[in-house]
Structure 1
Amino acid sequence: MNISSLHGLSVPLRDHVRYRTRRLSTRRRSIAFSSRHETTAIERIYVINLDRAQERWIAVHRELGRLREAAGHPLHSLARRFPAIDARYLQGPPPPDLLKPTYTLAEQLLVDPHPRLAIDGATRATRIDMTPQEVAVALSHIHVWQLIAASDAPYTLVLEDDAYITRTCMSVLEKAWCDIQASSDAGHPVDLLYLSYQETGEETEPPRRTRSLLRRPARGMWQLSGYVLSQAGAQKLLDQMPAHGPIDLWINQQFGRLHVQMTDRPVIEQRPGISSSNSYSVMPVLAKVGALRREAPQVFQHRPTREPILVIGDPGTGLTTVAKALSVLGLRCASDLITLPAHETRALARGSRRRLFDAYVNIGSLTPREVAGIVSSTRVRLIMTTATATSEPLSSFKEAWGLQRPQQRLLLPADDPDPWQTLARFLACDYPTHPWPHQPEQGQRHVTARSHSDVIASGRPLAWDTSPWIIQRTDWPGLMPKTPQQQDDALQAGQEAIAWQEGTRLEDSHWFLREDTFPSNRALFRPGNATLPQHGPASLTLRVEATRVRDLTGAAIASRPSFTYGSFSGCLRVPSGPGLVTGLFLHRNGPRQEIDIEILGRDTTCMLINVFYNPGTPGTRLEHGYRGTPTVIDLGFDASESLHDYEIDWQPDYIRWKVDGKTVHERVLWDPTPIPDQPLEFNVNLWSSESTEFAGPLDKQALPAVLEMTSLRAHSPAHAWKQGEPSL
């Protein structure tokens, strides 16, 4: 588990210093390692390494080459590379005799207690599904344990490929191994020795110093970047199969069956500057139950290239999919357009840095002659999609293809067995963890650069996130769709709705009352705070009520289905007062996409509209951004004085926000983001923000606060519904 990535923290400067000074070792040889089949010595080293990360194996192999075992041979002579299980190629559930890919929140809290959460019936009932990355990591370690148990090596060092050996490691092991040998001679052999670790929870007092450099774990332990496992210890772990949950969590539960030791300080560390591609299944659950109170803003690390990318190909060769893949990599991608705006075409042809976009996919106006001119006069990368690996490049673009240098061009067939690897190698970027985003072919669309006179009630923009999927230029009005009337009529056909009206109950198959929260919310949502009388408006109440995780409780209603496009509205009278937030919005995570209406109690004459966009298909864990792209709209009335109808009209090429049936704001493609395109759940809620800068300071004396509501309606194409309670 990469703790620094888990908490969203940058690697401290001291860790960089440790890494840079690792070669200043006080000792480079240790009796702990031996190639002479000693009775108690580390005779083998396994390095868990993905096939697509050969450079990491080379780095670890080089690292081991500067150190020596007892007889003076380099440690890499003991090393074996173990090809790690790749999460991208997992097919179906893991072998049931080795791993059950679920665990409970109670098991997490047993190892890593949280002061706001108790191990009770609710946490025992909260089951968590492991992510594919967690499953792959667990299976990799289990398979290494099988090799260790079947070997004749008394002890084996297991390293993950992002580990490095600190300058004190060999000297610490030299001294500690004497204690391990003495323990073995006394009939108490060590089964597991942690060399890389982070202890869980907060330490109340420092460990008592002893003459030994070893101690027993007193609390839970994270990380399996570097540990020594005996042959007998490996067999003991295998005897407890199947494991369940993340492997570094599960192994804590076996401490009662093993003789476990740890060095008095970590002597193997994770290399700084290597970001973890793993996603952690417990994090959204901790956010939902209220264990996390703050959201750390995420920043996209880097883009794969500064050179523009042109993608051409015949229809049906995966052009729309390639556009989505380039977007997932952090590129602003103009795709499937009949024509580019004239100023963008000029900027591309001139090689200007004033370009708005990084990649251009399936652009009808980029003729073979224009593409040849761009290739010959500027530095670009050219990608051509084909149906199969044996297909010939398009004859119409033969001139441009021939002008481009081989290292600057790529033939990407639709039947490529590993398109991420092909694309990542071409762009010299890391292999993504996300699934390849297969998309139906969209075809070229009629759009035009919108004039400023077309902008509807632009409002007052607030500070935006910095993101590769946001165009920061305020003079750019986006791309307006020119949708034929018959296409517009088709969008409206086949619509179905779920609705609630005052005086009726919420249909369980359509709606549910939330019992959760999110990090920046001061309140925990509770069903008891929603009142739906037989006569008159329903109400959602925010009140002072202490729980284990929050000192306020609020209320929220959400749709059980998720929707892709449609009209979503509610008739509301909002409460006023600093710190209060009324939300009517569409939302999802993995990837995070969101379309908001929020009315802040500090000024109920305005509403805040917002869009969060991250690309990818379901399962793509891109959550970058915590402010989105907010804009303040003047309502022209006080929303706390009477009921009004608020609506989000969300279509493939635009979003319109309406109040009492009148459009008050509109966003089109790349204005300033793409339009969200994944299934979203519909919500209405009343909460209080942790951020006083955002919502103002809450006056608890003014509570309870009440949101009145007379109707909710979700009107969407029937084929775009996704049934079931939305996932986190």
Structure 2
Amino acid sequence: MNVNSLQDLSVPLRDRVRYRTRRLPARRWSRAFSSHHENTAIERIYVINLDRAQERWTMVNRELGRLREATGHPLHTLARRFPAVDARYLQGPPPPDLLVPTYTLAEQLQVDPHPHLTIDDAARATRIDMTPQEIAVALSHIHVWQLIAASNAPYTLILEDDAYITRTCMSVLHNAWSGIQEASNVGHSVDLLYLSYQETGEETESRRRTRPLLRRPTRGVWQLSGYILSQAGACKLLDQLPAHGPIDLWINQQFPRLHVQMTDRPVIQQRPGIASSNSYSVMPVLAKVGALRRESPQTLQHRPAREPILVIGEPGTGLTTVAKALSVLGLRCASDLTALPAHETQALVRGSRRRVFDAYVNIGSLTPREVTGIVSLTRVRLIITTATATAQPSPPFQQAWELQRPQRRLLLPADDPDPWQTLARFLACDYPAHPWPSQPEQGQRHVTARSHSDAIPSGRALAWDTSPWIVQRAGWPGITLKTPARQDPVLQPSQKAITWHEGTRLEDSHWYLREDTFPSNKALFRPGNATLPLHGPAALTLREEATRVRDLTGAAIASRLSFTYGSFNARLRVPSGPGLVTGLFLHRNGPRQEIDIEILGRDTTCMLINVFYNPGNPGTRLEHGYRGTPTVIDLGFDASEAFHAYEIDWQPDYIRWRVDGTTVHERVTWDPTPIPDQPLEFNVNLWSSESTEFAGPLDKQILPAVLEIASLKAHRPT
């Protein structure tokens, strides 16, 4: 598991050069491969390939066709495609006799040591659940091992479909294979030969020049993009099942039971430009324990073309779900509305590029007559949702359906067994790695114009992230919905408040003290830095204190519960000084959504409000950007001099930020993002940012710094 490569997702220029020069191999044939039955030859090649990625199999097969085995036959004559297990179709836990889908941080560190982490009791107690993608990869490799164990082939090359054979591969194998034959002749057959890996640690140039063609792995990250497995080795691995944890991690733990070798250099590489759809379960854990100081946001690689998409259908046919799916694909989607803003309707009808949105789902003002006109006059795609695969478009939209060309129209039934495949093929985009976002029907929401009396000072907007779900257009006011939620919230009997105020105990059932960090945080949160006295406010302290992962320690309080909408407030007195950040916010990952209040110590007369929005059901790992949509609000006082009440009022149709009971900022839907809609955790913390541009350079002479908290309160629906 190459964790290091995940920290920088850009493809180095040298890797592209290597890939481009693979067509000029140092050798086109090797005695290591043979189609004749020999005691020590690679007689079979398995390519692990998803059914929905047949083009990758074609690419690998074409590449194998350029190379030859010992008798002159192309290598693709030895190749067999193995249909990979698809994470999207996994039902329930994996077979317990094959795979236990958990592992520990200690097991990860045994294989991939980190200079700032130790294998201690905490690491042994930190259990990590494998992602569906990791489970699918593990089962795919195990099933290939079963085929190898049952075969007569002495050796088999296993390739993942995003791998390619480097220009030196055949030469290295040809020269090294005599060593494999000699070892076999004296009873020391190689069980596993790594062709794809990344070594760790420094090595001198003289040692690189004198190292043998084959050697035993010592330190590094041993990947399964390309490896050679003997029939005996496959049997040994199967005897040790069930595996636990990611398969490339687990197989490292079997080294004492196997005769493992590696080539003197990696000769199988991952093809540049192909983004992995794997989701690595260890990454969030490494971020929390402080092993990562920076990270790259997970983004969409390929989005559909920005042609307008109209989605219509009867109620109950999955319209809200389709809207969310289009959003996950990276489209700005106006959905479940009685009407569009007038200028947006005009842009759509005229086919103008001045449209704000890419897709329009269940819009009441788009009558059958207007839809027919749009279809006949502009270049759009038409999707009609139906209850079943056998249903036809309803009569009001029949004319629009018949006018549209077949390749630009789609019937999408609610009972489609693989809606992602149907939608991705229609839009000519990649099959998403994320789960299909099943959503309850929302119905059409009433749209109203925001009156001048509703205007709230907007503050000063800072630079925004470039994201598919941020409207970057001057003067765009968002979409205001006319609902009862527009009134100031009143706590209903169906809601429950969890509170804390100074002088009382912090209830363990409601709150906890964080003991982790995140990549851009200079501090590690420690419970010992939180003081809750019997009299007076609580104190969160940031101090200079060296740990294995950070030079500072801070403190944070978080709710044990996650909330979907409500009111969240705290009375705070913040510390001042450059580099300090006081946070009052709601947050989640997978998909990342966040609503912030942050007060920067370098100017405590202002507060920063922010929203991060990424769509999808829980488990959708999208994290576009790390600036979000920040706006600076002038407080009119110095927040470090006295206690003040700060509040986030989060409702389905708007977010309001209040200070001492007065609303200082409001955002409605698509102003400039949709409103976060997933359960979020409530947090208060004190930390220092790695970004001096954001928070200023930290002057350690102001430490220890203290954030004082007089009360916390959250209203949550039950």
* Shorter-chain TM-score tier: over 0.9
Alignment check: 8 A CA contact 1:580 1:600 kept: yes
Alignment check: 8 A CA contact 1:450 1:478 kept: no
In structure 2, the partner of 1:57 is 57
String of CA shifts for 1:83-138, please: whole Å, max 9, x gaps.
11111111111111111111111111111111111111111111111111001101
Alignment check: 8 A CA contact 2:169 2:267 kept: yes
String of CA shifts for 1:366-395, please: whole Å, max 9, x gaps.
111111111111111110000000001121
1:476 aligns with 2:476: yes
In structure 2, the partner of 1:213 is 213
Separation in structure 1 between the aligned mates of residue 67 and residue 281 of structure 2, nearest angstrom: 37
Residue 488 of structure 1 and its aligned partner are, at CA, apart by: 8.4
Separation in structure 2 between the aligned mates of residue 670 and residue 376 of structure 1, nearest angstrom: 29
In structure 2, the partner of 1:625 is 625
In structure 2, the partner of 1:683 is 683
Count residues with an aligned counterpart.
717
In structure 2, the partner of 1:568 is 568
Gaps of 5+ in 2: none
Q: Which amino acid aligns with 1:130?
A: M
How does 1:419-430 map onto structure 2 within 5 Å?
419-430=419-430
In structure 2, the partner of 1:304 is 304
In structure 2, the partner of 1:537 is 537
1:9 aligns with 2:12: no
Give the secondary-structure state (helix, strand or coil) at the position aligned to 1:52. helix
How does 1:172-187 map onto structure 2 within 5 Å?
172-187=172-187
In structure 1, the partner of 2:334 is 334
Separation in structure 2 between the aligned mates of residue 493 and residue 359 of structure 1, nearest angstrom: 38
Residue 453 of structure 1 and its aligned partner are, at CA, apart by: 6.3
How does 1:30-429 map onto structure 2 within 5 Å?
30-199=30-199, 201-205=200-204, 207-210=207-210, 212-429=212-429
Residue 597 of structure 1 and its aligned partner are, at CA, apart by: 0.3
Residues 486 and 542 (structure 1), Cα distance of their counterparts in 2 relative to 1, 3 Å cut: closer
With the length of structure 2 as denominator, give the TM-score of the two structures. Answer: 0.98
Residue 172 of structure 1 and its aligned partner are, at CA, apart by: 1.3
Separation in structure 1 between the aligned mates of residue 509 and residue 566 of structure 2, nearest angstrom: 19
Separation in structure 2 between the aligned mates of residue 252 and residue 676 of structure 1, nearest angstrom: 41
Give the secondary-structure state (helix, strand or coil) at the position aligned to 1:541. strand
Separation in structure 2 between the aligned mates of residue 164 and residue 580 of structure 1, nearest angstrom: 48
Residue 208 of structure 1 and its aligned partner are, at CA, apart by: 4.5
How does 1:647-686 map onto structure 2 within 5 Å?
647-686=647-686
Alignment check: 8 A CA contact 1:298 1:626 kept: no
Q: Which amino acid aligns with 1:533?
A: P
Separation in structure 1 between the aligned mates of residue 460 and residue 383 of structure 2, nearest angstrom: 40
Separation in structure 1 between the aligned mates of residue 68 and residue 74 of structure 2, nearest angstrom: 4
Separation in structure 2 between the aligned mates of residue 414 and residue 247 of structure 1, nearest angstrom: 36
Alignment check: 8 A CA contact 2:163 2:271 kept: yes
Alignment check: 8 A CA contact 2:194 2:222 kept: no
Separation in structure 1 between the aligned mates of residue 236 and residue 283 of structure 2, nearest angstrom: 30
Separation in structure 2 between the aligned mates of residue 491 and residue 312 of structure 1, nearest angstrom: 37
Separation in structure 2 between the aligned mates of residue 655 and residue 446 of structure 1, nearest angstrom: 18
Separation in structure 1 between the aligned mates of residue 336 and residue 201 of structure 2, nearest angstrom: 53
Residues 486 and 343 (structure 1), Cα distance of their counterparts in 2 relative to 1, 3 Å cut: closer
Residue 295 of structure 1 and its aligned partner are, at CA, apart by: 3.0
Residue 687 of structure 1 and its aligned partner are, at CA, apart by: 0.6
Q: Which amino acid aligns with 1:240?
A: Q
Separation in structure 2 between the aligned mates of residue 657 and residue 408 of structure 1, nearest angstrom: 44
Give the secondary-structure state (helix, strand or coil) at the position aligned to 1:584. strand
Residue 474 of structure 1 and its aligned partner are, at CA, apart by: 2.5
Give the secondary-structure state (helix, strand or coil) at the position aligned to 2:708. strand
In structure 2, the partner of 1:455 is 455
String of CA shifts for 1:478-501, please: whole Å, max 9, x gaps.
011111489988984512100001
With the length of structure 1 as denominator, give the TM-score of the two structures. Answer: 0.96
Residues 534 and 542 (structure 1), Cα distance of their counterparts in 2 relative to 1, 3 Å cut: same
Residue 211 of structure 1 and its aligned partner are, at CA, apart by: 7.1
Separation in structure 2 between the aligned mates of residue 486 and residue 551 of structure 1, nearest angstrom: 46
Alignment check: 8 A CA contact 2:275 2:301 kept: no
In structure 2, the partner of 1:601 is 601
Give the secondary-structure state (helix, strand or coil) at the position aligned to 2:596. strand
Separation in structure 1 between the aligned mates of residue 20 and residue 150 of structure 2, nearest angstrom: 37
Separation in structure 2 between the aligned mates of residue 129 and residue 717 of structure 1, nearest angstrom: 29
Q: Which amino acid aligns with 2:34?
A: S
Separation in structure 2 between the aligned mates of residue 193 and residue 43 of structure 1, nearest angstrom: 15
Residue 210 of structure 1 and its aligned partner are, at CA, apart by: 3.7
Residue 216 of structure 1 and its aligned partner are, at CA, apart by: 1.6
Give the secondary-structure state (helix, strand or coil) at the position aligned to 1:595. strand
Give the secondary-structure state (helix, strand or coil) at the position aligned to 1:292. coil
Residue 186 of structure 1 and its aligned partner are, at CA, apart by: 2.1
Alignment check: 8 A CA contact 1:300 1:467 kept: no
In structure 2, the partner of 1:726 is none
In structure 2, the partner of 1:646 is 646
Give the secondary-structure state (helix, strand or coil) at the position aligned to 1:402. helix
In structure 1, the partner of 2:616 is 616
Alignment check: 8 A CA contact 1:196 1:226 kept: yes
Give the secondary-structure state (helix, strand or coil) at the position aligned to 1:35. coil
Residue 59 of structure 1 and its aligned partner are, at CA, apart by: 1.2
Give the secondary-structure state (helix, strand or coil) at the position aligned to 1:22. helix
Q: Which amino acid aligns with 1:620?
A: T
Alignment check: 8 A CA contact 2:33 2:42 kept: yes
Separation in structure 2 between the aligned mates of residue 242 and residue 345 of structure 1, nearest angstrom: 58
- Which range moves more in the overlay, 385-394 or 300-309? 300-309
Separation in structure 2 between the aligned mates of residue 645 and residue 286 of structure 1, nearest angstrom: 35
Separation in structure 1 between the aligned mates of residue 369 and residue 441 of structure 2, nearest angstrom: 25
In structure 2, the partner of 1:707 is 707
Separation in structure 1 between the aligned mates of residue 213 and residue 484 of structure 2, nearest angstrom: 76
Separation in structure 1 between the aligned mates of residue 300 and residue 231 of structure 2, nearest angstrom: 43
Alignment check: 8 A CA contact 2:485 2:651 kept: no
Q: Which amino acid aligns with 1:600?
A: L
Residue 202 of structure 1 and its aligned partner are, at CA, apart by: 2.8
Residue 178 of structure 1 and its aligned partner are, at CA, apart by: 1.3
Separation in structure 1 between the aligned mates of residue 611 and residue 5 of structure 2, nearest angstrom: 26
- Which range moves more in the overlay, 579-588 or 208-217? 208-217
Residue 455 of structure 1 and its aligned partner are, at CA, apart by: 3.3
- Which range moves more in the overlay, 55-64 or 651-660? 55-64
Residue 430 of structure 1 and its aligned partner are, at CA, apart by: 1.1
Gaps of 5+ in 1: 719-728
String of CA shifts for 1:389-445, please: whole Å, max 9, x gaps.
000112111111111111111100000011011111111111111111010100000
Residue 682 of structure 1 and its aligned partner are, at CA, apart by: 0.3
Separation in structure 1 between the aligned mates of residue 548 and residue 447 of structure 2, nearest angstrom: 52
String of CA shifts for 1:282-322, please: whole Å, max 9, x gaps.
10000000111123345543321221110000000000000
Q: Which amino acid aligns with 2:262?
A: M
